[in-house]
Amino acid sequence: MIETIATNPYTDQKMGTAGLRKKIAIAMQPNYIENFLQSIFNTIPNLEEKSFLVGGDGRYFNKTAIQKIIKIAAANHVKKLYIGQNGLVSTPAGSCIILKNKLDGGLILTASHNPGGINGDFGLKYSTSTGGQCQPHESQAILEQTLKIKEYKISDSPDLDLSHLGVFHCEETEIEVIDPYTDYIKMMEGIFDFNQLHSLLTSEFRFVFDAMNGVTGPYAKRIFEEILGAPQGSVLNATPKEDFGGLHPDPNLIYAKTLVDLMYSDNAPDFSAANDGDGDRNMILGSHFFICPSDSLAILTDNYRLIPAYKDGIYGVAKSAATSMAVKRVADTLKIGFYEVPTGWKYFVNLMDSKRITFCGEESFGTGAAHIREKDGIWAVLFWLSIIAATHKTVKQIALEHWQKYGRSYFLRNDFEGIEQSVADKLMSELEQRLPQLSNKQFGRFTVSTAYPFVYNDPVDNTSTQNGLIVHFTDGSRIVYRLSGTGTNGATLRTYIERYVTGDIDEDPNKMLQELCAVSREISNVTALTGKEQPDIIT
Ligand code: G16
């Protein structure tokens, strides 16, 4: 039976850079998820003709939320839901499944790299038939619904068992529990030379992949161990856990510390990688060597010819404004298009759909290509392994040779976390007002050339988005300031610091950027406004 439940709007359901992200305690409030789901469905016409994918990274509360999705979708007469077995689907595999099966969209349950468990975060991304997250005008329409919602519809059917593949029904809605791995693995086999990769991973080459107890564990086990022949046990933390085993599933030098320690030990393997909770972010490490994500995008782009799917040529490349300029130098050399977009993967989607770009990436450990409309952690790992297999070089050699050719953009991100929202807003608005006065101003050995708010004019749909503030220096250095759109604990000020050098390419970024980091704090006035002398996290 379908029930109509009276409800009151929640006023905090604006979607950030990656969908709705909230503390579990907030998401578990009565009617909270229900309101949000009904608000999404209210914006989609002809639901009785629509099919959606449902699944996520296996975090706490996903199972409960998936049962609610089934019942609310059924009460709204959705034609069909495809649900990953046990509620699991990685973000990139979700995009692949939506595109391959021509679905009308997806509800992907993940707070990405944010912690899980009962005290962690909950997240929900609404993807459209593009395979990517909804565009800003679509999330705005959903927000407007959340602010005026008065009732939602829900079926009172019992919960469905999602552990078995098969076709079931809830009211008139067909529910198919699917294998969430096969389509994605086939897609990877179509992009890379799996024979070449098999030879590498069955050789002396020592490889480790850390799934951080997130959803990529079962994907990585199948791909790296079962298909490509890496020794059993090469995939660490391979079982998805509701609390990620207490880990913060964010693949960076701080949160993937055990892996980093291994890679800097005497027993370091040749190569390792980690993915985040939902499998869209990646970190690449060589023996005693870390690849900064901005460099990873540049290096992959420079080596596109080594990959079967790209050997005949690529369209352009794009990066978020906060990401270093390294890939621009490659794009200029290759004479391919280059685009700079606001932070948020959704901004790449129009560029891919209009064949302006093939590759894109962000400093926040996201790299990807036009095979899907999300960033793709395992794709990035397979790409790196393919370069190594083809060139027989180490990760470090590949990076050093790249910097010898192009120069190096030393890059660090300084995060000031847990700032009161009003203070963070004040900091950004005051800084924005001061930007015009910064031109020609000298800070130690750095002189500002221009400073302005970053505004992106989408060449496809002509929308305009402002995100972040950029300060350029005469030597090619840059500082970018923006507030995080994915945090759930107050506001986070992100400061991205970049310095371009052609001589000293093998130095410690902390040393090379020490002075510029101090300049970034001076310009933002962060210490006076927040009391913080140093960032909370440096990546
Ligand atoms: C999400 C988006 C990314 C974006 C990141 C930024 O990542 O998908 O495109 O770079 O947020 O986060 P913030 O606004 O906190 O800097 P993910 O991996 O969380 O989905």
Q: What is the pLDDT of residues 217-254, one digit of tens each?
A: 999 999 999 999 999 999 999 999 999 999 999 999 99
Q: Ligand 1 centroid to 528 CA: how many Å?
A: 28
Q: What is the pLDDT of residues 57-102, one digit of tens each?
A: 999 999 999 999 999 999 999 999 999 999 999 999 999 999 999 9
* pLDDT(260) > 90: yes
Residue nearest to atom 17 of ligand 1 (CA): 112
Residue nearest to atom 3 of ligand 1 (CA): 344
Mutational pocket test of ligand 1: of 275, 364, 480, the residue with most ligand atoms within 8 Å of the beta carbon: 364
**Predicted local distance difference test score (pLDDT) of residue 487:** 79
Helix H, strand E, coil C: the string for 104-138 is: CEEEEECCCCCCCCCCCEEEEEEEECCCCECCHHH
Q: What is the pLDDT of residues 145-169, one digit of tens each?
A: 999 999 999 999 999 999 999 999 9
Residues framing ligand 1 (Cβ under 6 A): 17-18, 112-113, 280-281, 343-345, 362, 364, 366, 484-487, 494
Q: What is the pLDDT of residues 174-218, one digit of tens each?
A: 999 999 999 999 999 999 999 999 999 999 999 999 999 999 999
* pLDDT(353) > 90: yes
* pLDDT(262) > 90: yes
Banded model confidence at residue 350, pLDDT cuts 50, 70, 90:
very high
Q: Ligand 1 centroid to 100 CA: how many Å?
A: 25
Torsion angle of alpha carbons 358, 361, 365, 366, nearest 10°? -50
Structure tokens at 37: 């789901």
Q: Ligand 1 centroid to 467 CA: how many Å?
A: 13
Which ligand 1 atom lies nearest to the CA of residue 111? Answer: 19
Residue positions annotated with a catalytic role: 112
Helix/strand number for the chain, H first, E second: 18, 25
Q: What percent of the chain has pLDDT over 70?
A: 100
pTM: 0.96
Banded model confidence at residue 14, pLDDT cuts 50, 70, 90:
very high
Q: What is the pLDDT of residues 209-219, one digit of tens each?
A: 999 999 999 99
**Predicted local distance difference test score (pLDDT) of residue 430:** 97
Instruction: Give dist(CA 148, CA 150) in Å, integer.
Output: 6
Which one has a higher pLDDT value, 485 or 432?
432
Q: Ligand 1 centroid to 364 CA: how many Å?
A: 7
Banded model confidence at residue 18, pLDDT cuts 50, 70, 90:
confident
CB distance 114 to 21 below 8 Å: yes
Return mean pLDDT, the chain. 96
**Predicted local distance difference test score (pLDDT) of residue 488:** 78
Which one has a higher pLDDT value, 396 or 465?
396
Q: What is the pLDDT of residues 436-446, one digit of tens each?
A: 999 999 999 99
* pLDDT(16) > 90: no
Q: Ligand 1 centroid to 19 CA: how many Å?
A: 10
Name the nearest CA neighbour of 384 among 329, 267, 465, 306: 306
Structure tokens at 493: 């000020």
Which ligand 1 atom lies nearest to the CA of residue 320? Answer: 10
Q: What is the pLDDT of residues 269-319, one digit of tens each?
A: 999 999 999 999 999 999 999 999 999 999 999 999 999 999 999 999 999
Which ligand 1 atom lies nearest to the CA of residue 133? Answer: 8
Residue nearest to atom 1 of ligand 1 (CA): 18
Q: What is the pLDDT of residues 502-517, one digit of tens each?
A: 988 899 999 999 999 9
CB distance 3 to 154 below 8 Å: yes
**Predicted local distance difference test score (pLDDT) of residue 485:** 86
Name the nearest CA neighbour of 117 among 251, 241, 280, 218: 241
* pLDDT(489) > 90: no
Residue nearest to atom 18 of ligand 1 (CA): 112
**Predicted local distance difference test score (pLDDT) of residue 115:** 95
Q: Ligand 1 centroid to 485 CA: how many Å?
A: 7
Which ligand 1 atom lies nearest to the CA of residue 125? Answer: 20
Helix H, strand E, coil C: the string for 312-359 is: CCCCEEEEECCCCCHHHHHHHHHCCCEEEECCCCHHHHHHHHCCCEEE
Instruction: Give dist(CA 406, CA 476) in Å, integer.
Output: 14
* pLDDT(128) > 90: yes
**Predicted local distance difference test score (pLDDT) of residue 102:** 98
